[in-house]
Structure 1
Amino acid sequence: RWYGTDGDLRREKYIFPIDEEEKNRLDIFHKFFLVARDNNLFSAPLDVKQALRVLDLGTGTGIWAIELSEKYPHMIVQGLDFNMIQPEMIPPTMNPPQPFDIEDSWDTIDRDWDFIRAQMLFGSIQCWREMYQKMFIFPYESLSLLVNNHFAQVAPDLVRALVPHLKPGIGYMEQVEIDWVPRCDDGTLPTDSALDEWTSKLLKSLDRHGRSMRVDPDETRRQLALAGFTDIDEAVIKVCYCPWSEDRHEREVGRWFNTGLSQGLTALSCFPM
């Protein structure tokens, strides 16, 4: 497996593969998110008739940014990632992806974005609180944001880091994450199950790495409120590990999640653990 393109520092920051097999997995998870969200590329109440400026953090294969540009060619879409694994052929209306580490200073990043999107970044960022405290000095006390989120809660320090780059009062930031902790509706999941053991080892390994994949919605909401954010919106979608549900939509969501997890089990396990 191939684990990096920019020296040991970048490999240390992002410990998952970036080879063809992994790119296929990322695209499968993109499809999974689409199915889970009823084929919506975003949930924020954007005025799609406008020429919005959209920033995609950790764009990965660029598939989300590409599909957004194809669907809304009048929008200005920019993807950022320090791993340049995006295809050479992109829509003519889409800005070429830029090599950038979002943990670095944002001084060189443009301002006045209408929409900033982050997806599956838990496990990739080290100092959320440090970033939060550093960006807190920006005087945007009157800024009102709606934070839309599925599967997990928004990392507050990333939110604060984005604030100066969003249009004050009208900008939206949306983060989509997966809460990997397995659950059962009836509480019958054995604590010694293989699934529970795997998840526990995965989360502990990322803790040791200093880039947690754990989520704490209550704490995040508290920190967002303390920072002065209002209209904080959280949406949670139940995801089945396989297509067992009698509900047609849940069954389809489970099918795609199972495909992505099955193909990504090695990537999520071997190097991190």
Structure 2
Amino acid sequence: GDFRREKYIFPIDEEEKNRLDIFHKFFLVARDNNLFSAPLDVKQALRVLDLGTGTGIWAIELSEYVLSLDERFRRRGLDFNMIQPEMIPPTMNPPQSFDIEGSWDTIDRDWDFIRAQMLFGSIQCWREMYQKMFMHLKPGIGYMEQVEIDWVPRCDDGTLPTDSALGEWASKLLKSLDRHGRSMRVDPEETRRQLALAGFTDIDETVIKVCYCPWSEDRHERQVGRWFNIGLSQGLTALSCFPMRRMLGMSQKDVKDLCLKAKRDMCDLRYHAYCRVYIWTARKPDLEPSTKEPVSARGYDAEKVPVLSREPSSTWI
């Protein structure tokens, strides 16, 4: 419907479905084949809610893995767009078309795990989203996890020109989403602060270096860079066209020309550019009577939240 296009301004065609699956592979490689980082006990009966499930590939793979351990596992995916396959594992409830920015009154409040991935640029108010996640997790044992890409290109050795097309592309993409009212910018300290304000504890942040192409001498970073380059180079124009044309007034030709130049930059092995993937996990604490008062920023110190500059350790093999 029109209201969906107003909120979600990226394509949802067959090519986009393929790109989403490529990015799923990219995240798996970047995370050493871990589907999640939260300390979940997969040997217990788990209920998992996947927000913005997309093609459903993450949920399907998780369901197939956990099915081998416990048939009581249940998982549900929510998304605007019903683009998931018809055949799903028996542990999955059928995905639902759902506006996650709307009311959650019909959503159960006993989830063990709520996941969000690549939703920056699609959500208007993350404060409200974190509050909804908090309210619908099990006290004491419920975890949320969020995975996002900081698209801003970085370069430590000066090989990427300061006026690169790649930098211009990222700047204009982020500016267009700012004007859309659904920012794609990553502000790690603000995210940690909002999670704490929502009531979460045990907030962890993992940062993964992602090369724009396989220029690194490190074997793992090269593999990550290959998959990231495939996914982004195929989806660059689709990711950029509608936001830049509508929010910045650029012509379709100008957008395509910029994307072509940016693609050349990101595929040039001489340019040692990289961006970052951020993974946040947080737990809903036990709700004792004394803690049911409105959440405030009392006692919160963003500098004391653990930050890990490495790939997350495995919670399952």
Deviation, 1:185, is 2.5
Deviation, 1:220, is 2.2
Q: CA RMSD in A?
A: 3.2
For residues 42 and 129 of structure 2, the distance between their equivalents in structure 1, rounded to whole angstroms, comes to 31
The size of the alignment, in residue pairs, is 232
- TM-score, structure 1 normalization: 0.80
State which drifts further: 92-101 or 113-122: 92-101
Deviation, 1:200, is 0.3
Deviation, 1:190, is 3.0
Deviation, 1:111, is 1.4
For residues 198 and 128 of structure 1, the distance between their equivalents in structure 2, rounded to whole angstroms, comes to 25
C-alpha spacing 1:216/1:91, structure 2 compared with 1 (3 Å): same
For residues 42 and 19 of structure 1, the distance between their equivalents in structure 2, rounded to whole angstroms, comes to 27
Number of the residue aligned with 1:166:
137
C-alpha spacing 1:129/1:227, structure 2 compared with 1 (3 Å): closer
State which drifts further: 59-68 or 213-222: 213-222
Larger radius of gyration: 2
Deviation, 1:134, is 8.4
For residues 172 and 95 of structure 1, the distance between their equivalents in structure 2, rounded to whole angstroms, comes to 20
Deviation, 1:269, is 1.2
Deviation, 1:229, is 3.0
C-alpha spacing 1:93/1:225, structure 2 compared with 1 (3 Å): closer
Alignment of 1:112-261 (within 5 A): 112-129=110-127, 165-186=136-157, 189-261=160-232
Q: Which has the higher contact order (CA 8 A, sep 6+)?
A: 2
- TM-score, structure 2 normalization: 0.69
Deviation, 1:136, is 8.9
Deviation, 1:130, is 5.1
2:63 pairs with 51, 69, 78, which one?
69
Alignment of 1:92-107 (within 5 A): 92-107=90-105
Deviation, 1:131, is 5.0
Does structure 1 retain, via aligned residues, the 8 Å contact 2:48–2:111? Answer: yes
C-alpha spacing 1:233/1:187, structure 2 compared with 1 (3 Å): farther
State which drifts further: 228-237 or 254-263: 228-237
Gaps of 5+ in 2: 65-75, 243-316
For residues 231 and 134 of structure 1, the distance between their equivalents in structure 2, rounded to whole angstroms, comes to 18
C-alpha spacing 1:245/1:134, structure 2 compared with 1 (3 Å): closer
- Post-superposition, which runs of at least 4 consecutive aligned residues in structure 1 deviate over 6 A? 133-137
Q: Which whole-Å deviations, capped at 9, do the CAs of 1:20-75 have from their partners, x for residues lacking one?
A: 000000000000000000001001111111110000000000000111111xxxxx
For residues 4 and 198 of structure 2, the distance between their equivalents in structure 1, rounded to whole angstroms, comes to 31
Q: Which whole-Å deviations, capped at 9, do the CAs of 1:198-248 have from their partners, x for residues lacking one?
A: 000000011111111001111222333344432110000000000111111
C-alpha spacing 1:40/1:104, structure 2 compared with 1 (3 Å): same
C-alpha spacing 1:202/1:87, structure 2 compared with 1 (3 Å): same
For residues 134 and 80 of structure 1, the distance between their equivalents in structure 2, rounded to whole angstroms, comes to 14
For residues 131 and 34 of structure 2, the distance between their equivalents in structure 1, rounded to whole angstroms, comes to 33
Does structure 1 retain, via aligned residues, the 8 Å contact 2:133–2:144? Answer: no
Secondary structure at the counterpart of residue 146 of structure 2: strand
For residues 104 and 23 of structure 2, the distance between their equivalents in structure 1, rounded to whole angstroms, comes to 28
Secondary structure at the counterpart of residue 26 of structure 2: helix
For residues 186 and 57 of structure 2, the distance between their equivalents in structure 1, rounded to whole angstroms, comes to 25
Secondary structure at the counterpart of residue 235 of structure 1: strand
C-alpha spacing 1:66/1:120, structure 2 compared with 1 (3 Å): same
C-alpha spacing 1:49/1:171, structure 2 compared with 1 (3 Å): same
C-alpha spacing 1:20/1:135, structure 2 compared with 1 (3 Å): closer
C-alpha spacing 1:259/1:218, structure 2 compared with 1 (3 Å): same
C-alpha spacing 1:59/1:227, structure 2 compared with 1 (3 Å): closer
Q: Which whole-Å deviations, capped at 9, do the CAs of 1:148-172 have from their partners, x for residues lacking one?
A: xxxxxxxxxxxxxxxxx10001101
Number of the residue aligned with 1:40:
34
Secondary structure at the counterpart of residue 201 of structure 2: coil
C-alpha spacing 1:88/1:131, structure 2 compared with 1 (3 Å): closer
Deviation, 1:10, is 0.5
Deviation, 1:95, is 0.9
For residues 136 and 235 of structure 1, the distance between their equivalents in structure 2, rounded to whole angstroms, comes to 20
C-alpha spacing 1:252/1:103, structure 2 compared with 1 (3 Å): same
Secondary structure at the counterpart of residue 131 of structure 2: helix
